[in-house]
A and B are shown apart, each in its own frame.
Chain A
């Protein structure tokens, strides 16, 4: 029933590891996003995809690579994790009537 679902909810990993976060939406939206929320709660766009095509890439390090196998899924793969990557990552989808967010993935790099 969840409109935008992300897995996992929590991720604790060591520096240098590679990890993925998955996102799926069942709303039939064409556009999906990844946002990052830092420790001060500031939310910033990372990527957006429209119908599997990359539309926005906001000066995110190359270690972050989004992949959209179909318009209902947008995954985020992160290589060589660094301490500064610790944050909450939100997936979202949208129509012209607004945006719906997933419940977030709290990533902690130790």
Chain B
């Protein structure tokens, strides 16, 4: 079946270091979304990418959608303790309109001050 895979599963970084998580889909995606879940909280929508090769930035976060629309990445420059949490990517299911999304298993980021 359709799969969305994320690597790494965990990442520990020193504060100030950069961080990247990668998302790969077994199928071409019409769009991809990223969510962040703080410890003890609920996932919160960050951004949606739609176009092939699209790059979007939110302050220190850079999101990229691959040319083939099968992969995506989230890069955080100079991590801060506020970046701690689990980052999920998600894409639409095939043949079901746009619902429900298929989520990756997430990358849990720890930042050591």
A binds B: no
